[in-house]
Amino acid sequence: MEEVDQNSEENSIIIAIIGQDGAGKSSILKQYTEKEFDDTSYTPTYYDLIKQEYPEGIKMEIFDTAYLDDGYRFIGLMMHYSQYFVFCFDVSKHGYSLSQMEWWHKMICKDERHSKKPLLFVATKIDLRDSALDKSQFLSKEELEGIARSFGAFDLIECSSKNNHNIEIIFDKIVQHHKLPYCNYPKQKKDKCSVM
């Protein structure tokens, strides 16, 4: 694992990709950085740091995290160093995704500095919902919008790493947000921690 550049220049963005185990976080990063998707194996992440050049000379440092019983300290540390959170939610695991929500909400809200950081909500594996005959087992766009609002997310993206659908736009949205004049010191549009 590379070390995060704590003296990062103004044109660098530090992102933590967070969310439930197996949500597809590492697959998003693999698709984004290597244009590859692997559904033959699943290796849970402990933690990782990926450096990626974005056009216009913007440098991205992306922490890949996982929800692990003994790994939450690392998640906290990565969240501390990050400017943005990409919060991933698996649309195919309706009950499980909702049961994990509270844990993540607490994780974000227990530190006021975390709760003020901009959060992009990303619904993953939508290829599974698109191809399913019975869509009732999947989180719908409307449900996702409600959850994204409860987290104070600045946007919601539905994506599929398998089909490379909406993967690049995740990072485009963060860069666009970062360029907003008021975002050099991210401020919270809404109190994320008062809704649950």
Residue of 12, 20, 26, 100 that binds Mg ion (CB under 5 A)? 26
- Based on CB atoms, which residue is closest to ligand GTP, 23 or 119? 23
The secondary structure of the chain, three-state, reads: CCCCCCCCCCCEEEEEEEECCCCCHHHHHHHHHHCCCCCCCCCCCCCEEEEEEEHHHEEEEEEECCCCCCCHHHHHHHHHHCCEEEEEEECCCHHHHHHHHHHHHHHHHCCHHHHCCCEEEEEECHHHHHHCCCHHHCCCHHHHHHHHHHCCCCEEEECECCCCECHHHHHHHHHHHHHCHHHCCCCCCCCHHHCC
186 binds, among ligand GTP, Mg ion, none (CB under 5 to 8 A by kind): none
Question: Does 66 participate in binding ligand GTP (rule CB under 6 A)?
Answer: yes
- Based on CB atoms, which residue is closest to ligand GTP, 25 or 173? 25
**Site for Mg ion, residues 110 to 139, rule: CB under 5 A:** none
- Based on CB atoms, which residue is closest to ligand GTP, 58 or 158? 158
**Site for ligand GTP, residues 149 to 168, rule: CB under 6 A:** 160-162
Number of residues that bind Mg ion (CB under 5 A): 3
Q: Shortest approach of ligand GTP to residue 112 CB, angstroms?
A: 26
**Which stretches of the chain bind ligand GTP, using CB under 6 A?**
21-27, 39, 42, 44-45, 66-67, 124-125, 127-128, 160-162
